[in-house]
Every structure is written in C-alpha cells, then in structure tokens.
Structure 1
Amino acid sequence: MKKYLSLFLLFGSAVHAQLAPLTVSKIMRDPKWMGTSPENYTWSADSKTVYFNWNPENKDKIQPYKVSISNNKIDKAEDKEADKAAPINYVYNKDRSLGLLEKGGDIYLFNFKSNKEIRLTNTLDRENGARFLFNNDVVYQRGDNLFLQNLATGELKQLTNFVKGKPNNQPMSRVVPSQQDTWLRNEQMSLFDVLKSRNASGANRPRFGGRGGAFNSGEQRTIKPVYLEDSFLSGVVASPDAHYVSYRLIIPATNNKNTIVPNYVTASGYTEDINGRTKVGETLSTYKTFLYDVIRDTLYAINTSQIPGIKDLPDYVKDYPKELEERTKKNEDRKVNLGVANWNETGTFAVITARSQDNKDFWILKLDPATGNVSLIDRQRDEAWIGGPGVGRDVQWIDNNRFYFQSEATGYSHLYVYNIATGDKKQLTSGKWEVQRVQLSKDKSTFYISANREHPGITHFYKMSVNGGDLVQITSMKGGNEITLSPDEKWLAINYSYMNKPWELYIQANKPGAKAVQVTKSTSTEFDSYKWREPVMEVFKNRYGADVYARVYPASNPHPNKPAVVFVHGAGYLQNVHYWWSQYFREYMFNNLLADNGYTVIDIDYTASSGYGRDHRTGIYRHMGGKDLTDQADGVKLLIDKYGVNPKNVGIYGGSYGGFITLMALFNQNDVFRAGAALRSVTDWAHYNHGYTANILNEPYNDPNAYKLSSPIYFADKLKGDLLMLHGMVDVNVHFQDIVRLSQRLIELGKDNWELAVYPVEDHGFVEPSSWTDEYKRIFKLFETTLKK
C-alpha cells in the first residue's frame, strides 16, 4: 500500500537543498518554501474518498486533491468535484423517509422510498430554512415571513406578517454622544499636554453627525401585521405543531462612532480612509425575543424579569461606592440577549438561552409558550466572564426529553445532559481537563469528543455513550489530532501534526487502537534539511502557586553572556505550549535561530492562555499585565535556576497581546527585562474593541481603575531598557493610532531609548515577506546589540 505519490519527490529539486545556517531572510520568505500542508477536508457521500486542498507542486495557488481509503492513492480532483461528491445536507422528517433541500433559492422535496424529487417552490423570492413539522407538513421562510405547506392538500398558508418600517413613518432619533465618547475625550485631555494647550482654541471640539429616514409601513394583511420599525428580524422559528412562532428583534445602537484607519500607499495616490470598528464601551444593540400565537393571532414578549439573578450586580461595582448606591437604588433588570425557542421533536417542550450583556451570566431556561414565562434549568455565573470551550452556546437535543450542553461549573469545561421531563441533570465528563468539541452521532447514541485529557498540550478523539460511562480514546498519535468524521462514521480523516512537524493528512478506522496511516508528505527537502527542535516541555509554579506550562529552546552553544529571550504568544486566550505545530510557525523558526546563536528561549502559556480551565482563563480579570506579566518574570527565574542564563541579559518579544505584554514588561518589570520588541501592540485598552476588552476589563466609564491598571500608556514613564516598537499602518485590529499615542507619550516624557518601525502596507497580520524580514532583522539586531554586550 503506497502512502505517497511520487510527485512529492519533486521537492528534491528545491533551489536551496540545505537550510542551515538559519538566517532571518531564509525563514521569513513566502511560506511556500516550507511546503504547503493539506486543508479543508471533506468526505464523499459514500465515505470512500477524502477531498482536500493542497499544493505539493508549489504552484501559485492550491489545487483540489482526493484520496481513496481503499488504497490511500492520491489523485488530482476536478474543480467542484468535492462539492458534487459531498453528502447532500437534507433536512429529514422523523423516519427519514423524506428530505428537504434548498437549491437556487427554492425548496425541493425528496422521497427516499420512491427515489423522486419534487419542486415545492418556484419563485423569484428566496425560500430558506425549510423543515418538517411533526405531522410532516413543511414550513419555510420567504423574505421575513414563514409559510406552511400542507403536503397532502398542497395548500400554502402564511403564518406571519412581519412588515418592515413603522406604521406612522416616524423618523429616527438624533444621534447624541455616548458615555464612551465623553469618557475618551476627557481621558485624552488628561494624558496629552499638546491637546490641553490646543483645547482653549476650540480645535478639539467633538463632532457628531445625525441621520434621519423613513420607512414604508407595508400593506395591511388579513394576518395582524407586526411592524419591525428600526429593528432587524432574526431567528424566526415555528414550533413543531405550527402553533407558535418565536423570533428575535435586534435593535441596533444609533449613537456609536466608528473609527477611521488611513491607508497611505494606494493605487490612486490619495490617502484613502478605511471605515473601522467601534471602541470598547460602545452602546450595544439590544435583543428582544417574542412569541407569536398563530392560532390566537396574539403576540407577546418573553418575560425576562423572571430570570433568577436578573438584577444581580457584578462584584466589581463595590469598588465604586457612588455607582453601587445609584444602581442599587434603581434596582433595574440587567439587559440580556435571548436566543429563540429551541423545541424538542414533538413540540412538548421548549428551551431558550439567555446571556447578560455584561457577560457575567448565562442561563438555560424552560419556556412556557402559552404565557411567555420562563423557569430556570441551569445558571452559569462568572464574576469575570462566561467563557471556555463550548460554553454559552445553544443546547442540542438528544431525544424528545434530553439535551446536552457544556459548563465550567467545576472549573473546567465539561459535558452535561439534562432531562427536561424529570429535571435530572447529569455530568458526563469530569477532571482537570477540557472538553473542547462535541459531536453527536447520527443515531444519537454516542458522543464524539475532542479533549485534552492526556495533557493540556495533546488533543485526542474519544467516544462516550449519551448515557455516560467510559470515555474511550480512539486516536493514539501524540500531538494535535483534528478530526473530520466520515458520513458513515466508520472513518476518521485526521489533520495531525507534532511540535516540529507541520500538519499532514492521516486516515484511520474509527476504532480504538486502529492504526493511523499517513497519506500526505508536504514539507520541502530544504525544510527537512534542518533539524528543527523539539522544545523541552516544562511546568513551573508561578508566584501564586499555580502550574504554568512552558516550552524551552536551550541554546546549542550558549553565548558567553548567557542571554535569554522570552517569546509571548498573542491573543491572550490562546495556547502555544503544546505538542502540535504552532500557528506561530515563523516565531517557532526564529526561536530556533536564536537558539542556534547562543540564546536560551522560553515560550510560556501564561495566565489567560487557553486549555487550562476557568481559573487560568480568567486570571487577568480587571488586570491585564498582572499575572500574565509576572508569569513571564517567573519563567525567567526558571531559566536562571535551571538553564544558567544571565539575569542581566534577558529580552522579550511578541505580537498583538504579546506586544502588549512586552510593553508592560519594559515598563513594569524593568529590572527583569533588558530589551524588548513589541509588535502590533495594544497600548491603551480603552481604544480596543468591545467584544474582547469588555469581558476582561468591563467598560472604561464603569471601571476606569481596571483600564489604568492594565494599559501600558499609563506606565510609559518607567521605561529603562531598550524598546523597539513595530506596527502596520493599516492595522484594522490594533490601530496604528495605538502606537502613535504611546509615541507621543514617550516624546512628552523625554524618553530616548525607544524606536518605532512602521510598515505602510501591512494590516495586523503581516502579508509581505519583505515586511516580515525587515521586522525580524530589527528584532534580531536589538537582541544582538543589547543582550550580548
């Protein structure tokens, strides 16, 4: 049985047969020099072929390939061949004798007994969301409205009458400055002397635009119209007996201000503005969920005031006595985002989820559709924020009475099953590890689970009965195992990698102990010519007594100065200390280069990294640059004690969140770090986005202490070591404005031990090899000139 095609040997003709010695110019080339891993695996409907995209011949773009599981032979596939061979995603009725499918905006019915297809709609409008009711009638959405088609009689009945706009064509209200806009303006005045001096002339007056408009009310129908007004309609779902329709209205915020990112290097020769995101503290859209009683032609909202804890205030408010007094006196319900009714198969039970807008609570609620009342099934409360793999998602039904969900109630994300008929809740998995993904088998008897049970840095694929019991491990290769299950659930397409081996496709029978067979070989001869390190996996106790995992690259031949470098991964909630191929592959190669040049390198899964449970995840709540920063310093102590590095010659670098930590290290741990390179770094969290930042620091106008404690710009006066900052000028994630504001602060403070390198055509994730090369040449030079003196 052949594992690979002979065409893979083409890599032997690479221009550079030998990679060593490593240089920045070599490793920062277009990544195609390394070879391109396969991706986007899909199975054929008969479960005999795996389709994927690949580029083994190093062409300009990836090509479609396929492999037969009978002999593991790889062939090129035709364009769209995978789509034609893929399983048809029918929506089935209860006994799976009938299936519904949307094609070209119309609905088709397939009868599996007669093997015939019938076209149910043929309109210029798009019909979508078709599904069977319990009696085999069909319901689907056309435009904003639901329609019911009786398959026995052919009768088509409109269930809802949603009408865009307002009945009286009322104009939209004028936009006024938000709390966040006012807070930002005041904070700018307090930070920058130049703005204070210019303010007297009126040059800094805020400008707010207004907008207006009108909507047509729509035509009166026999069904009572429901006017959407200024809202957006979403999640329109009919109950299995078509008695009720649940839907959600999203009322957009109207007083938010978008940022602008100037683009200087353009084809037109003019500076062009990119319309950017809002900043943290924006006014959030509000969500309201309603029930429409089709039979009674009656509409009512879900009663959120009945949600247990709806008035509970977060603990941090105690740090602001005046605000606590005001909010306690108001005694208002917190704003929540409700899902839509999630019905069991027969329509006897409905469940709805709710999340508080402050993200401290997630509720699973039983819904009484006749009244709109709710009662509690499960409440997840976190004084930091609700999160963790699989947590906070809608529930999934197993059968007519049971559904499953994930919760961090034990401190780690685990799997639970709830019986809504009996009220019994059962925890199926447990331990100091995380359930990362869950898939229910087609016959709904088995859970397939991806989890890091063996080690935080190893993922395996498991199975378990829906009734609980033993968790049976199916995969066996140490590293990262990403699974695509075949339609008949007999085979696994495994995207597998190890810490020094990029991702490859393996095929394995879906049985414990079955051998995984490698199908692809993607790395080039040049890449393989270098002996890439397997970093040493370390675990150390931080100063708070918690376990912290790290990867160490010992120096091949330590420089006499015994220098060390700390690499800080980005994203905060991300894992990089693991046994699979890192998404930071450039940094992995750069760390090898540093080790070749006499540096000892450490890469730490600091507090807030993913894979380690709730306490690690939320350990930076209200203080970014706290435990996540001291973990870096504690990692340096490990290098000093165990690897003999010189504490006077330690550098640090990282991008995005890693750039932020680098700044905080140079400012607040300046006795530990001699030099640092901060790439695309956040300098002031009040200027980052809402979804990420508000979870961790709340809002600037509600919790200003957290922002001042967490933002490098407030600590710039403590800079001692040499600082190199690097930033793309068209960064739409961490805006170039961030680094400009910090630069102005350093200028006003009279600091002269810093430099800024800008990249005019780069966004947050650099694209051009020339930019990557220039960036890392500067970083390498910084360490060479400061840590080896």
Structure 2
Amino acid sequence: MKIFHKALVALSISALFWQSAPLAAKAEPQTWKQDTLTISQVYETDPAIRLTMEQIMADPDWLGRQPETAFWAPDSSTVYYQRKREGSELRDWFAKPLETEGNGELVKLAHWHQMGAQQLVYSADRSKAAYVFEGNIFVLQQGELLQLTRTNSSQSRPQFLLDGRLVYQQGWDFFAYDFSTGSHTELVSLKTDDAPKAPAVPNGYLAQEQHKLIEYVALQQRNQSERFAAQQQLRAENTSMATAAIYLGKGQQIVDASLSPNANFIILATRKQSPRNEKDIMPNYITANGDIAAQPVRARVNDFKPEPQKLILIDLTNGSRHELSYTALPGYNEDVLAEVKAENAKARGERYKSEKVIRDIGLMTDWYWSQSAMRWHANGNQVAVMLKAFDNKDRWIATVDLKQKKLLPQHRLHDKAWVNYAFNDFGWLNNSETLYFLSEESGYSHLYTKTLNSKNANKLTAGTFEVSNPVLTHDDQYIYYTANTTHPGIYNVYRQVLATGKTEQLTNLLGSTEFTLSPDEQKLLLRHSTNLMPPELFVADATPGASIRQLTNTISAEFRQLPLLAPQVVAVPSSHSSHPVFSKVYLPENYQEGEARRAVIFNHGAGYLQNSDLGWSGYFREFLFHNLLVQQGYVVMDMDFRASKGYGRDWRTAIYRQMGTPEIQDLVDGVDWLVKNANVDRKRIGTYGGSYGGFMTFMALFKEPDLFQAGAALRPVSDWAYYNHPYTSNILNTPDIDPIAYERSSPIYFTQGLTKPLLINAPMVDDNVFFQDVVRLVQRLIEQEIIHFETAIYPVEPHGFRQPSSWLDEYRRIYKLFEQNL
C-alpha cells in the first residue's frame, strides 16, 4: 500500500545560503502572484519509492516530454510549441490558445505552414509579417496568408524594403517581391567565380599562329566575341533583363551579406575558401553494411588556420565596390600577444621583440551566436558591423560612412584573456540613429546605448549580475532582457525604460526563466523551471507584478511521485578568490549523525556552463543519480567552479592559459567544505564528470592524487591541442603561439600522478571530443606502467549518449567504482 504525504514547499533565499525546493504543478494550470520571492504549493510524493538505475537511465519519455521550441502566433492569442512524440525521436507541434484549458491541440501536418514562425519580420507600418516555412516564404496581411514561393530550392531571410517590397534570399541571390504587381525580381546575385570576359586570342606562339593561319579558328573567335558584346549591350539597353551578377572571384567564400532597406547598398564579408583536410576523419566500426566508415570531422586547433575576411561595400546604384579597410579600428595592429610570445620564446632560450602586426579580423560569427553581424538601421542610411580579431582579444562595433566608403569605429571591447562568445547582441533603436549593445567591459554583461557622434557609450544597467537576450520594442519604449540580479542562480525578466533610464522587474520567480515577447508586445511567454520542476510554459502580461498563468502541464504523475531531494545551494569560501564558489549540495537525512559519510563531487561539462542554479538542469540523469546516491547515504556536491557561466568576466577568464588549475583549486575548497560542514570522511570522497568534467576528473586525480579516492572521466579531453579551434583558441591561444598553455593545461602531461582508481568511459563515434583522446592517454598510462585504471568503450555513441542501454552501462560502472572504493 502506497503512503503519500503532502509537503508544503516554500522557496526562500539568503545572501550566502539558500535551499531550493519543488515548484510542482498541480493537476490543473495555476495562477501565481509575485508579491515576494516565496511561492508555496502542495506537492505529493511517495516516500516509499526507491530510485533504481534502470528507471533513471531509461528513455526520458517517462518524465513527461516537456515543451521544447515555443513561439507566439502572429495574433498574440495562441502559443505554438513542440513536444517529443512518445517512443520516437520525432517532434509534434501543439497549438495552445491562451484562454483554453489543457495542453492544447495537436497541429495537423497540413496546417504547419499556417503557424507562423519564431522569427516574424514586419513591414515598416507592421501591416505585414513574413516568415519562412520549410524553405518557402509566407506573408500575413490583414488576416490573410499569402504563399510567395513554392519551390524545392530553399529561400531564407525575408526583409521588407522601404518601398514596401519584400526581399528574400535563395543562396546568395536576393529576390524582391512586389505586392502591387505580384512580380519577383532578382536584385542582386553574388557569384564566387571570376567574371566572364570577351573571348580573346590565347597567348603563346602556337595560338597566335593558329589564328593567323586557320581562318575557321579566327572566325569562331570573332563570333564568340560578337555574341558576348551583344549580350552585354542587350543587358544595358533592355530593362526587362535581370541586373548583372556580381562576381567576387574564384576561390572566394561568402561569410555573410546584408542588403540595405533602400536596396542601394549591399555589404558582405568574404574569405578564401579553405580546402578540407582529408586527414580529419573518424572511424565508425558499427555500420549498416558491416564496413568501417571514415566519417569526416572538424579540424583540430593545432591544424586549423582561420582565413582573414575582407569587408566589401557594393553601391548597387552604380555597381562600384569598395573594400572597407580595418585600419580605422583602434588596436588593429597591436601585438596583443606580445607577453605570451615573449614567455614562450624565453622557454626556448630565445628573445622576442614585439612589433606592430596586422591582425586577422572578420565578422563576429561564432558558433554560439545566431544574429547577423551586419545590422542596417530601418531608415537605410546607416549600417553597423560587429567585428572580431581572430586572436580573440578584441571586438569592435563600427558603422560605415557610405559616402566616404570607410569604417567609423563606435566601440571597442578589449580583453587580455578572450572576448566572450556570449553577450554580443547589438542593433539600432528604431526611431533614432542610436546603437544598443551588450558588453562585458565592466566585468559583467550589461546593456549600453551609443549615439553616433558621442565619444562614450551610455551604460543602462549596472551591478554584479549578467544581462542577456535584449529585445527592443518597435516604438523604442523598452528593452526587455533576462538577468540574475538577485542571485547568480535565479533568472528573471526585466525591462529598461529608455526615456527615463528606469529598470522594471517583470517576473519574480525562483528558478530559471526565459521569455519571448508577443508580437503585439503586450505579453510574455515564459519558459520556467526549478531544480525539481522540468520546464513548462507560462504567460504573463508584460507589466511589473503581473500574475503568471501556467499554460502547459506535461510533467508525468510518475515523476511527481518521486521523493526527490532538492539540493541546497551553498557559497563555498574560496581560498584563491574573493568570491565564493556556489555549489549544489545533496544531504541525506540525519547526515550529521553517526560515522562520517561518503561523498561524490560532480564536475559539469562545457566549462562555461552554470549548473548550481535554481533551474532544471540539463543533467537530469545525473540529478536523479545524485538522489539515488543520497538515498544510500552519500553526500553529493556539484560546483560552479571558476570558468562557469553566470558569475562575470573574471570568473570566466580565471582559466586563461591554465585550464585545470583554478578549477581543481576550487575542488580542494569543496572537499574542505564537505569535511567541515557535512560530516564527510576526507578519505571516502570520489569525483566524476563528462566532457570538460571528464577533463577535470583527469586533472584532479593526476595533479591532486590525495584529494579523491576514485574518479570517473566520461568522454574526456586529454590533450587540448586535439580539440576544436573556436573553443580552445579562446582560452589557450593556439599551439604554435602558446605551447606553454597547452602543456600546462592538458592531462596527458600529468598522467604520472595517477595513484587512485580511474574509470575512463569513451564513446567511439564522438565527433566533439575524439575517441583518439582516450586512446592516446591510455597508451601513455600503459607506457608508464600505471595500472590504476579501467576503460569502457561505447561503439555506437556520440558525445551525448543516445541509447538507454549505454547510459545504464555507464552509470552502473560509475556506481560500482564508488561502492568499491569509497
């Protein structure tokens, strides 16, 4: 017989210590008041349930299949969201009208094109909205839906011109649709090839003689020349002909291109096309035909050489093109790596002489960032570009003098470590030639504005918190954003009143809250979660203190019955920083009683990631595994060590040129805290983690051999010279410039320190951290005659495991490691 109890859950916070608890959904959607930071609800659990590894590592459908991608319908009265189909990898779309009960209705495939899209593009008077569905262009006008294209070619990036036409791209061809005539016109065609030329007599003695001696050859050459000239004359004199294509040269690659709203200019960035390195492959041993497949993969940071970019302005009124020089950018020729080069030269017994150097520069187009780095003002008279140095030390915002054809620098963000790949949102106010942007220059990501003629930017937000996801209203009244102002682990929605500089808080929830502003800019679609509640959708008016109403209720009854323990979030004092290390701690009942406890410290992945917050963790399996350990008397800690997201620039860059040093120092402080505050036996502590967390497990066991009694490294990095360029070159520069940083930061150089049991779990078709990382490190351990390790391989798994059987096998091995050694 099941025994249920009702737990009245209250969420509270203090400056240094707070305990998160479930914010569980009842059977029906709730309306919440936001008068304080405390929300109470009834949460029914079954304390008799004991977690099992089989349940935790099963297909996560049993959790309830939470809402994924969600966006507003164009009329702001309905929300569309995706939900995983039970027992399948496919996703279905659901329509959820705001005023109805339940989770909404399944959208039939035949109606998917009618939903709209996440990115609606509006005409100047907002009477029309355009979007893309499955590579075709659709327009909404006065409640009517117009399909502009119906092709197997893919169209993208709709844009309204000032004259009312709609532009869309097909590859690098720009087409304009005229609503008054229904015609489609090619405005611009960009070609990465050499421009065609009139046939000429080839050079060389034999060719010259051939044309003199053989009349047929000479006649063919004259005919071809005449046809070419006639075609050029027809294009010049006949207005029905499409505009001539713009040829950029053979071997060039277009990085991005942007058309002005008046269609007078196009600005683009190009670079030389780099041939693929045929050595960049990964063997796949489990294939459908039984053969070994050599799958192409990304280059290693040691091999990848990014090509510098040319920024080109083309005047479409006369066809002239102008390369925009980077020499106007402050610091464009600084030797920003002089100290690093000098240190490495000294290690080689050489002396480095610093000189001016022309730095490689291009658009800010990092993998993390989906915006265009070229932003036209709505009036068509100004364009701003965001540029970066490929040495990762500078980010510039510049505008273009369209008359003088030159860059005008507006803002420089310099960082001696590296410029963050996050917090690069920028754009124009709609009704004035004023830029807005995010910058970490104060030590935290904050919001700024800058008029073109002002010397300095105006800082709109300030404090030891991070601003992200700024959204400007069309009337320039507000900029909405997300920030963790009250605590690093709590994210709420705010807005800046641009006329007064006042900041208004719109949500006041404990946990993680993301938002999407409705098309009419009157409502907020919220995606909210807590440590014990997976993400659900909510809606609120876009006004301070508005009530929040739950839209979806997808969490399964099975999950809600689990007697899960919400972790406490503690501020672990740091012995190497003035700021504490915020950490989740899972404490079993009566943990202070009896003999000292066993403990496990989990190391999150990605490095720049936050996991000790109050939101639902992407590591939900690990969260459940930690609860299983707690049920068996373990204490578990999960630290946001230095390099983690959410704590500002200095915390992020503490690992510059020394990955694995600050983080392990923080683990030492974590162990000390557990021993002092949680009745943990120092000789019974283990650690584990995946990806970056696997790298940390290596470094902890290799460099601090007495800190942990056992560790499990999952899909781990062993040598950073083998990882990718975008991530690694930020933190360690490149191996040819800074080998000291790579040798200081790579576990393979410290394997001789291993004295405690180590489990290495490695997926074999991992195209992120290559299986080669594990192979090389294992060979190193064998050659050093070190026997304190075991290796488990997963032949069909990529970096993120997919098969429940693999998850189960992996965590059974981790559990066995801890049981045997702690």
Q: Do Structure 1 and Structure 2 share a fold, with TM-score over 0.5?
A: yes
Question: CA shift at 1:496, angstroms?
Answer: 1.8
Question: CA shift at 1:116, angstroms?
Answer: 8.2
Describe the shift of the 1:55–1:679 C-alpha distance in structure 2 as closer, same or farther (beyond 3 A).
closer
C-alpha distance in 2 between matches for 1:507 and 1:118: 29
| Between 404-413 and 43-52, the greater mean CA deviation after superposition | 43-52
Letter in 1 for 2:514: E
Question: CA shift at 1:130, angstroms?
Answer: 5.0
| Between 481-490 and 735-744, the greater mean CA deviation after superposition | 481-490
Question: CA shift at 1:224, angstroms?
Answer: 8.3
Q: TM-score, normalised by structure 1?
A: 0.84
Letter in 1 for 2:57: M
Describe the shift of the 1:150–1:422 C-alpha distance in structure 2 as closer, same or farther (beyond 3 A).
farther
Q: Would you say the 8 A contact 1:389–1:434 is kept in 2?
A: no
Describe the shift of the 1:747–1:266 C-alpha distance in structure 2 as closer, same or farther (beyond 3 A).
same
C-alpha distance in 2 between matches for 1:107 and 1:667: 56
C-alpha distance in 2 between matches for 1:519 and 1:363: 41
C-alpha distance in 2 between matches for 1:57 and 1:224: 49
C-alpha distance in 2 between matches for 1:784 and 1:621: 36
| Between 499-508 and 353-362, the greater mean CA deviation after superposition | 499-508
Letter in 1 for 2:250: E
Q: Does 1:231 align with 2:252?
A: yes
Q: Does 1:335 align with 2:367?
A: no
Write out per-residue CA displacement over residues 609-665 of structure 1, whole angstroms, 9 at most, x where no aligned residue.
000000011110101101011101111011111112111121111011001000111
Q: Would you say the 8 A contact 1:109–1:120 is kept in 2?
A: yes
Query: Match for 1:571 among 580, 603, 606?
Result: 606
Question: CA shift at 1:126, angstroms?
Answer: 6.7
Aligned to 2:733: 698
Query: Match for 1:49 among 78, 82, 94?
Result: 78
Describe the shift of the 1:120–1:706 C-alpha distance in structure 2 as closer, same or farther (beyond 3 A).
closer
Question: CA shift at 1:97, angstroms?
Answer: 4.8
Query: Match for 2:620 among 585, 603, 610?
Result: 585
Aligned to 1:301: 323
Aligned to 1:319: 343
Q: Does 1:79 align with 2:108?
A: yes
Letter in 2 for 1:769: P
Q: Does 1:383 align with 2:416?
A: yes
Q: Would you say the 8 A contact 1:149–1:157 is kept in 2?
A: yes
Describe the shift of the 1:124–1:32 C-alpha distance in structure 2 as closer, same or farther (beyond 3 A).
closer
Q: Does 1:372 align with 2:400?
A: no
C-alpha distance in 1 between matches for 2:358 and 2:679: 57
Describe the shift of the 1:73–1:148 C-alpha distance in structure 2 as closer, same or farther (beyond 3 A).
closer
Write out per-residue CA displacement over residues 169-212 of structure 1, whole angstroms, 9 at most, x where no aligned residue.
9xxxxxxxxxxxxxxxxxxxxxxxxxxxxxxxxxxxxxxxxxxx
Aligned-residue RMSD, C-alpha: 3.4
Aligned to 2:49: 20
Aligned to 1:94: 124
Matches within 5 A, 1:521-600: 521-545=553-577, 546-556=579-589, 560=595, 562-600=597-635
Question: CA shift at 1:87, angstroms?
Answer: 6.8
Describe the shift of the 1:776–1:82 C-alpha distance in structure 2 as closer, same or farther (beyond 3 A).
same
Write out per-residue CA displacement over residues 116-148 of structure 1, whole angstroms, 9 at most, x where no aligned residue.
888988999776555444444665556644467
Aligned to 2:713: 678
Letter in 1 for 2:194: K
Q: Would you say the 8 A contact 1:141–1:147 is kept in 2?
A: yes
Question: CA shift at 1:34, angstroms?
Answer: 2.6
**Count of aligned positions:** 726
C-alpha distance in 2 between matches for 1:614 and 1:440: 25
C-alpha distance in 1 between matches for 2:101 and 2:149: 43
C-alpha distance in 2 between matches for 1:343 and 1:633: 50
Question: CA shift at 1:289, angstroms?
Answer: 1.2
Q: Would you say the 8 A contact 2:686–2:818 is kept in 1?
A: yes
Aligned to 2:674: 639
> Percent identity, aligned pairs only?
36
Letter in 1 for 2:288: A
C-alpha distance in 2 between matches for 1:143 and 1:23: 51
Q: Does 1:68 align with 2:97?
A: yes
Letter in 2 for 1:283: K
Q: What's the secondary structure of 2:309's corresponding residue?
A: strand
Question: CA shift at 1:338, angstroms?
Answer: 3.4
| Between 561-570 and 79-88, the greater mean CA deviation after superposition | 79-88
Describe the shift of the 1:530–1:227 C-alpha distance in structure 2 as closer, same or farther (beyond 3 A).
closer
5+ unaligned residues in a row in structure 2: which ranges? 1-24, 30-44, 198-227, 237-243, 365-372
Aligned to 1:287: 309
Q: TM-score, normalised by structure 2?
A: 0.81
Aligned to 1:166: 194
Letter in 1 for 2:124: K
Question: CA shift at 1:514, angstroms?
Answer: 2.4
Describe the shift of the 1:457–1:103 C-alpha distance in structure 2 as closer, same or farther (beyond 3 A).
closer
Q: Does 1:360 align with 2:393?
A: yes
C-alpha distance in 1 between matches for 2:151 and 2:283: 44
Aligned to 1:245: 266
Q: Would you say the 8 A contact 2:84–2:92 is kept in 1?
A: yes
Describe the shift of the 1:739–1:120 C-alpha distance in structure 2 as closer, same or farther (beyond 3 A).
closer
Q: Would you say the 8 A contact 1:5–1:74 is kept in 2?
A: no
Q: What's the secondary structure of 1:501's corresponding residue?
A: coil
Q: Does 1:653 align with 2:688?
A: yes
5+ unaligned residues in a row in structure 1: which ranges? 7-15, 170-216
Q: Would you say the 8 A contact 2:694–2:714 is kept in 1?
A: yes
C-alpha distance in 1 between matches for 2:459 and 2:363: 25
Describe the shift of the 1:103–1:699 C-alpha distance in structure 2 as closer, same or farther (beyond 3 A).
closer
Question: CA shift at 1:110, angstroms?
Answer: 7.4
C-alpha distance in 2 between matches for 1:696 and 1:567: 23
Describe the shift of the 1:639–1:246 C-alpha distance in structure 2 as closer, same or farther (beyond 3 A).
same
Letter in 2 for 1:368: D
Describe the shift of the 1:123–1:370 C-alpha distance in structure 2 as closer, same or farther (beyond 3 A).
farther
Q: Would you say the 8 A contact 1:303–1:372 is kept in 2?
A: no
Query: Match for 1:766 among 801, 804, 809?
Result: 801
C-alpha distance in 2 between matches for 1:425 and 1:659: 42
Q: Does 1:417 align with 2:452?
A: no
Letter in 2 for 1:692: Y
Letter in 2 for 1:639: L
C-alpha distance in 1 between matches for 2:116 and 2:152: 27
| Between 230-239 and 320-329, the greater mean CA deviation after superposition | 320-329
Letter in 2 for 1:232: Q
Question: CA shift at 1:159, angstroms?
Answer: 5.5
Question: CA shift at 1:111, angstroms?
Answer: 6.8
Question: CA shift at 1:274, angstroms?
Answer: 1.5
Question: CA shift at 1:236, angstroms?
Answer: 3.0
Question: CA shift at 1:431, angstroms?
Answer: 0.1
Describe the shift of the 1:240–1:54 C-alpha distance in structure 2 as closer, same or farther (beyond 3 A).
closer
Question: CA shift at 1:295, angstroms?
Answer: 3.6
| Between 631-640 and 518-527, the greater mean CA deviation after superposition | 518-527
Letter in 2 for 1:94: A
Describe the shift of the 1:711–1:87 C-alpha distance in structure 2 as closer, same or farther (beyond 3 A).
closer
Q: Would you say the 8 A contact 1:256–1:283 is kept in 2?
A: no
Q: Would you say the 8 A contact 1:252–1:286 is kept in 2?
A: no
Describe the shift of the 1:767–1:704 C-alpha distance in structure 2 as closer, same or farther (beyond 3 A).
same
Aligned to 2:698: 663
Describe the shift of the 1:47–1:666 C-alpha distance in structure 2 as closer, same or farther (beyond 3 A).
same
Q: Would you say the 8 A contact 1:4–1:73 is kept in 2?
A: no
Aligned to 1:276: 297
Letter in 1 for 2:343: D
Letter in 2 for 1:332: V
Q: Does 1:497 align with 2:529?
A: yes
Query: Match for 1:267 among 265, 278, 288?
Result: 288
Matches within 5 A, 1:715-754: 715-754=750-789
Q: Does 1:484 align with 2:516?
A: yes
Letter in 2 for 1:336: I
Write out per-residue CA displacement over residues 256-295 of structure 1, whole angstroms, 9 at most, x where no aligned residue.
4552221112221222222111101311133211112234
Query: Match for 1:453 among 485, 489, 512?
Result: 485
